[in-house]
Amino acid sequence: ASAKTIDRPVLKEVLGYCTEHKKYLDYFIVYKVDRFARANIDHHTLRKFLSAIGIRLRSATEESINNDDPSSGLMEGILASVAQYDNHQRRDRVREGMIKSFESGRFVWKGPCGYKNIEGPDGRTRLIIVEEEAYFVREAFRLAIEGIHNKTTILKKLITLGLKNRNGGKPSLQFLDKMLRNSLYISIMHSKKFNKTVKAPKEFVPSIIDEQTFYNAQEILNHNKGCKPRKRNNPDFPLRGLIHCYACNKLLTGSWSNKKRKHAYYHCRDGKC
């Protein structure tokens, strides 16, 4: 059976009861076949399980399946297939509705740190900024664009300031990485599931940071990926993370002319400048 079917708590409880009391049970009665399982394979897997412990499946509203003969078996199979077809149609309609909402600029999932889902005047969900959480988002990006911290250092600083994950616990590096990579903070929604990217109207998804900050952070994070954190107050490069390239406006970094440390100099991370 599928994970969705197995994870139904009441069904698990009932099947456990059937196993424990199988000597005293003859029938497993459902209101309708489509309430038993929504996938054909799940229906027959569960039915086989019940049959193995001596319990027969019966429907309270579908008399045509309640006889132990080939015709009842055929009708039961048809009803199970219809239930699966109906479930797939319903799922597709829900998906289509979500895609249309997404394309109109509405975020159709629970908002990340810094946002809260509310119902707008039109009865549809939109995001609003939660300033207590947005503070940590802005601080994370501020530290990132300084170019002198890796993500481990940034996370430690944010935890010291009081950052929590959605469950109120200690946030992980993955939590921080998702935050720093999330374009939703500049009102750009991206969905791998739908393979779509949409610029959302501010009234549906207000920005927490500005676009320049976001894209500067992406450049620095990509450049520093896998690198060790630099010293914040390196006397050799006091302006690192503060001054920008005159050609492309990216933050300059500092280096030595060679391994023998002949002289220090600033340069753009982009070798083309």
Supply the CATH number for residue 227's domain.
3.90.1750.20
Say what the pLDDT of residue 233 is.
Answer: 55
pLDDT confidence tier of residue 25, bands split at 50, 70 and 90: very high
Give the CATH number of the domain where residue 8 resides. 3.40.50.1390
The radius of gyration of the chain's CA atoms, rounded to the nearest angstrom, is 29
Residues of the chain above pLDDT 70, percent: 85
Whose tokens are 């690192």? That residue is: 240
194 in any annotated domain = yes
For residues 208 and 159, membership in a common domain is answered with yes
How is residue 166 written in tokens? 């959605």
Tokens 């309640």 — which residue? 66
Digit-coded pLDDT (tens) for 174-198: 999 999 999 999 999 988 888 889 9
Distance CA 206, CA 107 (A): 11
In this structure, the answer to whether residues 228 and 127 fall within a common structural domain is yes
108 inside domain = no
Are residue 225 and residue 246 in the same domain, yes or no? no
- Measure the CA–CA gap between 163 and 253, rounded to whole angstroms: 29
pLDDT score recorded for residue 245: 74
In a domain, 17, yes or no: yes
Would residue 238 count as lying in a domain?
yes
Residues 94 and 12 in one domain: yes
> How far is residue 24's CA from residue 41's CA, in Å, rounded to a whole number?
27
- pLDDT tens digits along 57-111: 999 999 999 888 899 999 999 999 998 999 889 888 988 888 888 888 888 889 9
Please indicate, yes or no, if residue 106 is contained in any of the structural domains: no
- How many separate domains does the chain show? 3
Q: What are phi and psi of 270, to 5 degrees?
A: -85, 110
Per-residue pLDDT of 150-180, as tens digits, reads 899 999 999 999 999 988 999 999 999 999 9
Residue 269 pLDDT more than 80?
A: no
Mark whether 170 and 133 lie in a shared domain: yes
Handedness of CA 91, 92, 95, 97 (dihedral sign): negative
Is residue 60 located within the same domain as residue 75?
Answer: yes
Helix, strand, coil percentages in the chain from 3-state DSSP, rounded to 5: 45, 15, 40
For residue 48, the enclosing domain spans 3-100
Residue 124 lies inside a defined structural domain of this protein = yes
- For 203-219, the pLDDT digits (tens) are 999 999 999 999 999 99
